[in-house]
Structures are given as structure tokens and as C-alpha cells.
Copies of this chain bind each other. A is one copy, B any other.
Amino acid sequence: MKNTERTETRKSEILNIAESLFIEKGYIHTTINDILIKSGISKGSLYYHYKSKEDILDDIIKRIGDKKIEAANHIAKTKGIDAQTKFLQAIFSLNSSDDRQAQLTTDLEKSSDGQMFIKSLADIVLRLAPILLIIVEQGISEGVFTTVYPLETVEILLCAAHALFDNGNLAWMPEEQKRRLSAFIFITERALGAQEGSLTELSQMAMPDEGE
């Protein structure tokens, strides 16, 4: 195996283990030693690949973001789908794109870690907004959306979605969470100036009863 390949696999090994630990215990409460023990590598080796603990986090955030962007991009570029459906799909693809990420919402408190949250918020908003913007603009030209603030609307919705649904700190009952999701779709509808009920209807078709 070539060295560079080995480096990449080594790096993603570290990344995988660190990610699961960060999700499990939170960034702050995961020590470098935890990562070393679980991965079986030595400190020198870890710091050969990553220059700091925060560096590892950044890479994890980026990798998660990449997946989401890819998914969103794929949706945005698909032909023959109306803008409303695309927008809903793109928004929903944010949450459950990663299996383990689901825990983050479920395992309360554990992930009450600010670092991860704020970094992924910034990452998602800055990198994903331009993609959702494409969808919204498609909707505007199709006449199903109406707004003079397409980019800002997307940014605001992304902020809200992330704070609401990817945050262990705002621990809520499943029933409340369900209402909040309905409300979010409803507000999205209004914010984008879509036909009253259009997105709500679509979302109910897409997930008739996904309340677990």
C-alpha cells in the first residue's frame, strides 16, 4: 500500500472513531486519550495527522457537511421535479443523512456541547444556503414561490432548522417536536410565499406518519 493511501485510511480511521466519540460523549468531554485508546494508535501518530483536537472536529464537521451538500446538490440538479418537492427533500435530507447523527437529537444532554453545534451551524448555513437558493429561484421562476429575499430566507430557515432539530440542548417531548416540525413546514411555506398548504400537503405525502 502506498504511503499516501495509508495516510488517508489512517486519517479516516481517526475521523470515524473521533466522530462516534464526539457524538456519544460530546466534543469537550472526549479526550484525545479516549481517541487514542479506542483507535489503538499513539499520540505522536495522531498529532502527525492532525495538528489539534479542534482540527479533527473541523474535519468531521466538513465531512458531514460534504455529505449534506452532495445530497442537496443532487436534489437541486434533478430535472423534472417541482421546486416545492425539491425544497422539502433538501431540508429533510439534512437531518437523517447520517444514521448516527440521529442519536444526536435523541441522546439528550450528552451532546450538549457548544463547539460542535456552532461549527456545524456555520458550516451548514454558509455552504448549504447557496444550493437551496437555486431551488428557491427555480420556484420563483416557476411562479410557486414569491419573495424578494430568497437567499436570506434560506439562511434564516436553515438557522432555525438547525437550532431546532439538531440541538440536544433544547430537549423536547416527541409530541412537541412533531408539532414544531409541522410548524416549521408551515412557516417555510409562508416565508417562501408558497400556496397555503402546498408544502404541508407534500410533506404529509412524503412521510405520512414518521413519528416513530
Binding site for B on A (CB under 8 A): 112-119, 121-122, 125-126, 147-149, 152-153, 155-157, 159-160, 162-164, 167, 169-170, 179-180, 182-184, 186-187, 190-191, 193
Contacts and interface: CB of A to CB of B under 8 A. Distances in A.
A149 B190 contact: no
B119 A116 contact: no
Contacts of A167: 118, 121-122
A122 B153 contact: no
A62 to B, nearest CB: 15
Nearest to A176: B152
A156 B187 contact: yes
Given A115-B114, A183-B149, A191-B191, A163 B159 contact: yes
Given A113-B114, A114-B117, 10 more contacts: A112-B118, A121-B167, A121-B170, A148-B186, A149-B179, A153-B183, A153-B187, A155-B183, A159-B160, A190-B191
Nearest to A182: B149
